Chains A and B, each alone.
Chain A
Amino acid sequence: MSDTEVPSDTGVSSTVRAPASRRAALAAGVAALAMAVLPKRARAQATRRPRPGPITGTPNIPNEIPVAPQEWASDSNRLLRRITYGITDADVTAAKQYGFRGFLERQLDYTHIDDSAVDAFIAAKYPYISQGTSQLYNANSGTVQNQLQQSTVYRAAFSKRQLYERMVEFWSDHFNISYSKVTYLKVVDDADVIRKYALTTFPKLLYASAKSGAMMVYLDQNQSRSGSPNQNYAREIMELHTLGVDGGYTQNDVAELSRVLTGWSIVGRGDFAFYSSIHDFGKKTVLGVTIPASSSSVGAGAIVEGEQMLDMLLAHPSTASFIATKMLRWFVTPQPTAQQVAAVAAEYTRTGGDIKAMIRVVLDPAWVAAAPMKLKRPFHLIASSMRTTTPTVSGVAGPTAQLNNTGQQLFMWDTPDGYPDRVDYWAGNVLPRWNYASYYSALAGGEVNLDVAQFMRGNAADPTVAAIDTRLFGGEIDPALRASLTTYLKGGTYNAVRVRETLALAMSSNTFQWY
């Protein structure tokens, strides 16, 4: 090779030893190692921000990182934008009342937020999503899928537990499972893994995911057996769920972990089960940790071998950094600094992966104040449109179907990396966003009834645009946008159709695409 390439499968850590327990390992001062094993990407991003240059010789055009408009001056509104699917009057008032930290704490303590109205609607409208495998097995798969997708859209738009819903979306991508491969099992995973543990601890999430029938099927773990292990899940649990691709494992570690996990599978209609009959009882070594050969008479107790591996992965400093980096990207910036990653990773290590504790570090008021804008993905945009305009809703089939046109049909990303969280992926998709805004703004009289009267102000353009500013932009609209919306509204006869068009343009505007 004439290139300056370095194989990526290097860097085995032979120093990681099996912890006696997760708690012991987490307490063992691994924080000191965090910088040394920070993923390559995090280090690279920390040290250089590529700058635009002539194409010849510098073939790299980075995405610009857009700074928030100066009108976005309110700290509490900045927080609202980060942890919700869109600003509402009620949240603006509450965030001002409780302050940045106070509002954040209330959102973190989500079980004490009264969401009974949303829960009742969901229970009545989407009964499948709380059912188990044996019931769902006999249900129409398309109906089950619709209920899962629509209930997710409804909750994002109308649940008061907004931060919780944002974390549900985050973990749904982190532990991505495509409905098209596992069908109704995704419903069970959504309830019993993602939603159950979204704001608990990462170890609880990982354990639940590793014992999810849906995950077993999605990553072919149910096909794996002693003598002919399937490596799919063993690879992804390290690459995507814990260590990260640069986290220090090798192809041999993948092969060995796949042997450890033989026997992790499903029973009946897709519930998790461990089968000692297909477990590999030979000696295995993963990341320098050796599991000695044992007798098959150990039987069902051999599941602890896999659990020991989960504990090791959870205690690995690469996992702390990897989860920290992803959470920072989700809430704060596409390019977190090494210091930010280290701070959040240290909190992971200190608390044993407590998700709320990590969020408190991630959402540092100074970091949020300095954070560049993030592009709303289509799901976020659709939730925003409803959230900011409070339609009367008896169902959300229409807006949910629009996710097909905008490229984020929920739970349908085929590969286990989840929907991209990168601006270069979504940025080109502007026309479908504009068309969604047109579609939504015209909804009247159906399942979703957008009452345009709430924006109409006595045939006057200025107060109408002021109402749009309050509802869609938290009162922090860019003056140029205010002026152009006013001009547009005045460019035709003042009536409901023209106001709806103006509202569509406000939702199509560049500013509304970001948070």
Chain B
Amino acid sequence: MTMDTHDEDCGCSEYKALSRRQFLGATAGGAFGAMAVGVFPDWLPRVVLAESYASSRDVILSVFMRGGADGLSLCVPFGDSSYYTGRPTIAVPRPDAANSTATKGIALDNFFAFPQAMSALMTPYTANDLLVVHATGQFNNSRSHFDAQRFMEVGKPNDTSIVTGWLGRHLATIPPLRTTAPLRALGLASGLQKTLVGAPKTLPIANPATFALGGNTATINQRLSFLQNDYSGASDPIHAAALDAGNTVAILQSIGFATYRPANGAVYPNSSFGNALKSVAALIKADIGIEAAQVDIGGWDTHSAEDPLNGSMANTMRDFSNSLAAFYLDCITTATSNGVTAVAFSEFGRNARENGSQGTDHGRGTCLFAIGKNIAGGRVMVNNWPGLAQANLDSGQDLKVTIDYRDLLAEIVQNRLGNTQLDVIFPSWKPTMWGITK
């Protein structure tokens, strides 16, 4: 029976304490309905209901910017004149340019600037809670979206035998924040992102607000019981997913997503990314033991008509920054049982020079964003800016990668998520700690 293998080999303490088989036995009679809809009548600040436990571990929001996000538009190196010569039609004007304030950059220091579309992130930046790391990415030089994303998500370049994700292995190698949590992590997606594969008690849930079993309410418990029994003989990952789903339905239904009111006047954009972050904030504040959420935002594959001032890139950046800024106000600056760290990055950047379609093709180095009260922010960190002059470009085309993204994630995993098994999470990589956490 496959379950036994899973239990014996897992190695994580939650399974030692209570195997999945035992857990199934305990819940298959419909006991997961114990925390039924209506126990929590409306949205409450769940902090007051929290179990008492001491932990300095943060909850993590991980954002994948899919498509190869143009770091040179996200965080503009206006101090490098080659940026302007390479991009005659799609550059963001210098902060001290004569252009109207509606178009020119917002200085982050005397070299880098945000475009106006990123202005919402000035709030965490000026509070020293937002760190931008530039000229980062992976040294693996794939310009394939799919290979580059896969290698980044599994946490080891060029190894196609690894099937689990870095965040999945983090969760699999650390005890849960709350042993009774039915769901430790979720991907806000229809299918589980590679990043989370391998994580125990983790599901893809496209919309947590509608995560409920349909049909006749009078037979819900009977039917859930049938299904959990039926899937008890299934193989993983289907088996685990079915078990987790049955156990998660009631607790998610207890959270009043519809009436959730963000804190501090935060306003999330009514976009799929904005709504996803809002759901994550509600889940974190409900304090049900969620430790990690993976959210994706697309729209970065700007081969044509990029236009970071008014066009597609501006729109995507505005959605990105307004959503993250709302999450910051709502969930990071307010007290939660655990702190919250957010990180956002992309598989690669784009060519330093624009192409003939007022766009940019696949490149190399780009930006990574980290937000949190314990992130050493308020700065743009670079490992000696490699420069955009022709001679300094990777393959004569691209901003070089100077910091491996795994260094940055490893420091967050170790110092903010409390997991020291970095050799498991990022195999055969000896991370350099750049001091991005406090």
Report which A residues bind B (CB closer than 8 A).
1-9, 40-41, 44, 48, 50, 52-57, 59-66, 220, 223-225, 227-232, 235, 239-240, 245, 251, 254, 375, 406-408, 414-415, 417, 420, 423-432, 434-435, 438-439, 442, 480-481, 484, 488, 491-492, 497, 501, 504-505, 508-510, 513
Report which B residues bind A (CB closer than 8 A).
2, 5-6, 9-12, 66-67, 139-147, 157-158, 160-164, 169, 172-173, 187, 189-192, 194, 197-198, 202-204, 206, 211, 213-216, 219, 222-223, 226-227, 229-231, 233-238, 241-242, 245, 249, 298, 301, 303-304, 355-357, 359, 361-362, 395, 421, 424-425, 427-430
Q: Is the CB of B361 within 8 A of A427?
A: no
Q: Which residues of B contact A480 (CB under 8 A)?
A: 233
Q: Is the CB of A220 within 8 A of B304?
A: yes
Which single residue of chain B is at the shortest CB-CB distance from A497?
B216
Give the interface SS of chain A, mostly helix, strand, loop or mixed: loop
What are some 25 contacts across the A-B interface (CB < 8 A)?
A3-B428, A3-B429, A4-B428, A5-B140, A7-B158, A9-B143, A48-B161, A52-B9, A55-B173, A57-B424, A66-B234, A228-B356, A229-B355, A231-B303, A232-B361, A423-B238, A428-B203, A438-B213, A484-B226, A488-B222, A488-B226, A501-B216, A505-B226, A505-B227, A510-B231
Which single residue of chain B is at the shortest CB-CB distance from A492?
B219
Q: Is the CB of A431 within 8 A of B211?
A: yes
Which single residue of chain A is at the shortest CB-CB distance from B218?
A492
Q: Is the CB of B362 within 8 A of A510?
A: no
Q: Which residues of A contact B223 (CB under 8 A)?
A: 488, 501, 504-505
Q: Is the CB of B12 within 8 A of A55?
A: yes
Q: Which residues of A contact B142 (CB under 8 A)?
A: 8-9, 245
Chain B proximity of A54: nearest CB distance (Å) = 4
Provided the pairs A64-B236, A501-B219 are in contact, do residues A424 and B424 lie with their beta carbons within 8 angstroms? no
Q: Is the CB of A425 within 8 A of B139?
A: no
Q: Is the CB of A428 within 8 A of B192?
A: yes
Docked CA distance A225–B357 (Å): 9
Q: Is the CB of B303 within 8 A of A220?
A: yes
Provided the pairs A225-B356, A227-B356, A505-B223 are in contact, do residues A55 and B11 lie with their beta carbons within 8 angstroms? yes
Chain B proximity of A325: nearest CB distance (Å) = 12
Q: Is the CB of A235 within 8 A of B191?
A: no
Chain B proximity of A145: nearest CB distance (Å) = 18
Docked CA distance A6–B359 (Å): 30
Give the interface SS of chain B, mostly helix, strand, loop or mixed: loop
Provided the pairs A53-B9, A423-B237, A484-B230 are in contact, do residues A430 and B215 lie with their beta carbons within 8 angstroms? no
Q: Which residues of A contact B211 (CB under 8 A)?
A: 431
Chain A proximity of B303: nearest CB distance (Å) = 4
Q: Is the CB of B429 within 8 A of A425?
A: no
Provided the pairs A224-B356, A501-B216 are in contact, do residues A50 and B222 lie with their beta carbons within 8 angstroms? no
Provided the pairs A55-B10, A55-B173, A251-B395 are in contact, do residues A1 and B139 lie with their beta carbons within 8 angstroms? yes
Interface residue from B6, B192, B395, B428 paired with A427 (Cβ < 8 Å): B192
Chain A proximity of B432: nearest CB distance (Å) = 10
Q: Is the CB of B162 within 8 A of A59?
A: yes
Provided the pairs A5-B157, A9-B142, A55-B10 are in contact, do residues A425 and B191 lie with their beta carbons within 8 angstroms? yes
Q: Is the CB of B245 within 8 A of A229?
A: no
Identify the interface centre among A59, A220, A510: most chain B CB within 10 Å of its CB. A59
Interface residue from B5, B172, B249 paired with A431 (Cβ < 8 Å): B249
Provided the pairs A56-B11, A407-B206 are in contact, do residues A510 and B245 lie with their beta carbons within 8 angstroms? no
Docked CA distance A97–B53 (Å): 67
Docked CA distance A3–B426 (Å): 11
Provided the pairs A223-B303, A230-B303 are in contact, do residues A64 and B2 lie with their beta carbons within 8 angstroms? yes
Chain B proximity of A111: nearest CB distance (Å) = 35
Interface residue from B147, B192, B298, B429 paired with A2 (Cβ < 8 Å): B429
Q: Which residues of A contact B227 (CB under 8 A)?
A: 434, 505, 508-509
Q: Which residues of B contact A50 (CB under 8 A)?
A: 161, 163
Q: Is the CB of B303 within 8 A of A430?
A: no
Provided the pairs A428-B191, A428-B241 are in contact, do residues A229 and B356 lie with their beta carbons within 8 angstroms? yes
Docked CA distance A430–B203 (Å): 9
Q: Which residues of A contact B303 (CB under 8 A)?
A: 220, 223, 230-232
Q: Which residues of B contact A508 (CB under 8 A)?
A: 227, 230
Docked CA distance A230–B187 (Å): 33
Q: Which residues of B contact A227 (CB under 8 A)?
A: 356
Q: Is the CB of A230 within 8 A of B234?
A: no
Which single residue of chain B is at the shortest CB-CB distance from A6?
B158
Docked CA distance A235–B143 (Å): 9
Q: Which residues of B contact A235 (CB under 8 A)?
A: 143-144, 362
Chain A proximity of B244: nearest CB distance (Å) = 8
**Given A60-B161, A231-B303, A488-B222: 7 more A-B contacts, CB < 8 Å:** A3-B429, A40-B160, A56-B421, A228-B355, A407-B189, A430-B242, A501-B219
Which single residue of chain A is at the shortest CB-CB distance from B12?
A55
Chain B proximity of A390: nearest CB distance (Å) = 22
Q: Which residues of B contact A59 (CB under 8 A)?
A: 162, 164, 169, 172-173, 198, 424-425, 427
Q: Which residues of A contact B231 (CB under 8 A)?
A: 430, 510
Q: Is the CB of B245 within 8 A of A431?
A: yes
Q: Which residues of B contact A406 (CB under 8 A)?
A: 190
Chain B proximity of A181: nearest CB distance (Å) = 10
Q: Is the CB of A510 within 8 A of B162?
A: no
Chain A proximity of B74: nearest CB distance (Å) = 20
Which single residue of chain A is at the shortest CB-CB distance from B198?
A61
Provided the pairs A54-B9, A508-B227 are in contact, do residues A428 and B204 lie with their beta carbons within 8 angstroms? yes
Docked CA distance A488–B227 (Å): 11
Q: Is the CB of B359 within 8 A of A230?
A: yes
Docked CA distance A513–B425 (Å): 32
Docked CA distance A312–B145 (Å): 24
Chain B proximity of A255: nearest CB distance (Å) = 9
Docked CA distance A481–B222 (Å): 15
Which single residue of chain B is at the shortest CB-CB distance from A372?
B235
Q: Which residues of A contact B361 (CB under 8 A)?
A: 230-232
Q: Which residues of A contact B356 (CB under 8 A)?
A: 223-225, 227-230
Q: Which residues of B contact A439 (CB under 8 A)?
A: 214
Q: Is the CB of B235 within 8 A of A484?
A: no
Which single residue of chain B is at the shortest CB-CB distance from A417?
B146
Docked CA distance A9–B143 (Å): 9
Q: Is the CB of B144 within 8 A of A430?
A: no
Q: Is the CB of B140 within 8 A of A66?
A: no
Docked CA distance A153–B264 (Å): 46
Chain A proximity of B199: nearest CB distance (Å) = 10
Q: Is the CB of A60 within 8 A of B162?
A: yes
Docked CA distance A432–B212 (Å): 9
Q: Which residues of A contact B430 (CB under 8 A)?
A: 2
Docked CA distance A382–B301 (Å): 32
Interface residue from A56, A229, A504, A510 paired with B234 (Cβ < 8 Å): A510
Q: Which residues of A contact B233 (CB under 8 A)?
A: 480, 510
Q: Is the CB of A501 within 8 A of B173?
A: no
Docked CA distance A491–B140 (Å): 59
Interface residue from A41, A53, A427 paired with B160 (Cβ < 8 Å): A41
Which single residue of chain B is at the shortest CB-CB distance from A512?
B230
Q: Is the CB of A431 within 8 A of B213?
A: yes
Which single residue of chain A is at the shortest CB-CB distance from B149?
A415
Identify the interface centre among B143, B235, B421: most chain A CB within 10 Å of its CB. B235
Q: Is the CB of A55 within 8 A of B204?
A: no
Q: Is the CB of A56 within 8 A of B213?
A: no
Which single residue of chain A is at the shortest CB-CB distance from B302?
A220
Chain B proximity of A105: nearest CB distance (Å) = 33
Q: Which residues of B contact A63 (CB under 8 A)?
A: 163, 235-237
Q: Which residues of B contact A426 (CB under 8 A)?
A: 191
Docked CA distance A45–B242 (Å): 28
Q: Which residues of A contact B424 (CB under 8 A)?
A: 55-57, 59
Q: Which residues of B contact A66 (CB under 8 A)?
A: 234-235, 238
Q: Which residues of B contact A231 (CB under 8 A)?
A: 303, 355, 361-362
Chain A proximity of B237: nearest CB distance (Å) = 4
Chain B proximity of A5: nearest CB distance (Å) = 5
Q: Which residues of B contact A427 (CB under 8 A)?
A: 192, 237-238, 241
